[in-house]
């Protein structure tokens, strides 16, 4: 079933912008619309190197979406059989928190209701791959090695191509958060959930929903550590994905959002926010909104980021999500007086609020304000600003998490009758401005 109407629309996607990729109804140009989708949100998203997407809807079906927009029913049937060696489309599957695809095209899905990881081979036959206590996450590499998290046993295991099972991290029925910086086999885990492999299969990322942490196992060195700064982003960690450059993306809840953790070790950056579920399509992802809570993530080799929605039947796409979104935004901008008489000098105060609504510090921010031509600088606040060639510059400072600060500049301005406004242009570097408003103006009376 071909549902992708417009290849040109795909090519016009801008880096760092958000789009609806798949939905049940109401999709516009370039959106895959598939009416048979269930009423609820999606339970899982995984994507292959060629951008084939797998999603589970709340009708307990696994759907396959080709890069060309073909949507097919891949597995799951209400009232189907739980037996092995049948076509996957005739099989009953329960809650599927995660699935994965190996290099040969075999699909592995976590079936929590039957407490097993199941395999669908390239002919569409489903079998039991591994039975375990409460599987929660699965990942697979190109060679066919499969990695499985069990949130009840508090363990991460590897199943190699000969079906040999090796415990990589965690002790059976022994929860804990110890071991960072040491051998993974000696570490303790707390309810490991979703998994993500980096592109070289050197590291496996593992969410701990309630701690909230993302633990990283180096498969080459056999060590474990925690992804820095994640615990400060939200009360719960929902999922993690890794792009081709090794940047990690983390979906969090309370407050909700998706964050990018650069591989360079610098602090986390926001990717998108949470709101009404439809806002922001075609615009910057940081100004776009999910419905309530981002549930699962998947990243392609080109750093496109797919985000499933907990509430709405839609998958959003952030195109080229490896951009550095700003933290600091400009809001509540105004000029007093709002208008000035033509031809007369008048003192005008241009004021605005710089806000950082995110739960991390934005470091080394410099705020500047460019005065209109012919203006004479009088004063400014906060204290410490200097004015050179009509450019007011405040000392570089760190902007605290969840904070705001009021700035203003007073200048003597004379406007001619032909002018429409006296405008101060505001900027903050390196964060930039979000939303994009950069001017505070007063008009000629």
Tell me the pLDDT tens digit for each residue of 199-211: 889 999 999 988 8
The structure tokens 């899905």 sit at 109
Structure tokens, 321? 């999500």
d(CA 151, CA 174): 11
State residue 1's pLDDT score. 36
The DSSP-derived string for 312-380 is: SSEEEEETT--S-----EEEEEEEESSEE-TTS-EEEEEEEEEEE-SSS-EEEEEEEEEPPTT-EEEEE
* Low-confidence residues in the chain, pLDDT < 70: 1-11, 25-30, 34-44, 58, 266, 273-279, 288-293, 310-312, 322-326, 416-420, 431-437, 445
Structure tokens, 370? 């460019």
pTM of the model as a whole: 0.82
d(CA 75, CA 89): 4
Q: How far is CA 431 from CA 269, 323, 347, 362, 428, in A?
A: 10, 12, 30, 8, 6
State residue 166's pLDDT score. 97
150, 164 contact by CB (below 8 A): no
State residue 273's pLDDT score. 63
d(CA 107, CA 120): 5
- The tens digit of pLDDT for each residue in 152-179 reads 999 999 999 999 999 999 999 999 989 9
The structure tokens 């049937």 sit at 77
d(CA 407, CA 76): 58
Q: How far is CA 145 from CA 28, 135, 173, 253, 403, in A?
A: 40, 16, 24, 31, 46
Reading phi first (left if > 0) and then psi (alpha if -120 to 50, else beta), residue 12 is in: alpha
Q: How many C-beta neighbours within 10 Å does residue 255 have?
A: 15
State residue 252's pLDDT score. 85
């Amino acid at each position: 079933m071909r549902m992708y109407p417009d290849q040109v629309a795909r090519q016009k996607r801008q880096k760092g912008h958000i789009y609806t990729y798949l939905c049940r109804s109401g999709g516009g140009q370039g959106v895959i619309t598939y009416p048979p989708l269930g009423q609820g949100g999606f339970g899982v998203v995984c994507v292959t190197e060629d951008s084939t997407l797998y999603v589970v809807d709340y009708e307990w079906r696994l759907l396959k979406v080709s890069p060309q927009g073909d949507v097919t029913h891949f597995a799951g049937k209400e009232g189907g059989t739980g037996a092995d060696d049948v076509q996957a489309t005739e099989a009953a599957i329960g809650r599927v928190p995660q699935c994965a695809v190996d290099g040969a095209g075999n699909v592995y899905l976590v079936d929590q209701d039957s407490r097993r990881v199941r395999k669908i081979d390239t002919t569409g036959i489903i079998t039991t791959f591994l039975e375990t206590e409460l599987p929660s996450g699965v990942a697979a590499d190109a060679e066919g090695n499969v990695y499985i998290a069990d949130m009840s046993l508090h363990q991460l295991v590897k199943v190699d191509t000969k079906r040999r099972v090796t415990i990589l991290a965690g002790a059976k029925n022994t929860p804990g958060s110890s071991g960072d910086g040491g051998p993974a086999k000696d570490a303790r885990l707390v309810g490991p959930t979703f998994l993500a492999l980096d592109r070289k299969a050197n590291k496996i990322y593992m969410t701990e929903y309630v701690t909230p942490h993302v633990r990283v196992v180096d498969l080459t060195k056999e060590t474990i550590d925690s992804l820095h700064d994640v615990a400060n982003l939200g009360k719960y960690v929902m999922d993690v994905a890794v792009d081709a450059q090794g940047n990690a993306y983390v979906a969090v809840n309370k407050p909700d959002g998706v964050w990018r953790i650069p591989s360079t070790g610098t602090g986390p950056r926001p990717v998108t926010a949470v709101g009404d579920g439809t806002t922001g399509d075609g615009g910057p992802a940081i100004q776009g909104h999910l419905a309530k809570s981002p549930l699962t993530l998947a990243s392609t080799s080109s750093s496109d980021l797919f985000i499933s929605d907990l509430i709405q039947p839609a998958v959003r796409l952030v195109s080229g999500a490896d951009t550095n979104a700003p933290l600091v935004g400009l809001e509540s901008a105004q000029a007093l007086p709002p208008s000035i008489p033509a031809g007369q000098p008048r003192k005008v105060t241009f004021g605005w609020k710089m806000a950082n609504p995110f739960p991390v510090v934005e470091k080394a921010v410099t705020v500047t304000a460019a005065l209109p031509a012919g203006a004479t600088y009088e004063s400014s606040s906060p204290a410490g600003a200097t004015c050179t060639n009509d450019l007011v510059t405040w000392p570089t400072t760190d902007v605290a998490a969840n904070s705001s600060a009021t700035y203003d500049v007073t200048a003597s301005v004379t406007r001619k009758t032909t002018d429409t406004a006296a405008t101060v242009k505001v900027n903050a570097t390196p964060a930039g401005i979000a939303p994009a408003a950069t001017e505070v103006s007063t008009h000629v009376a």
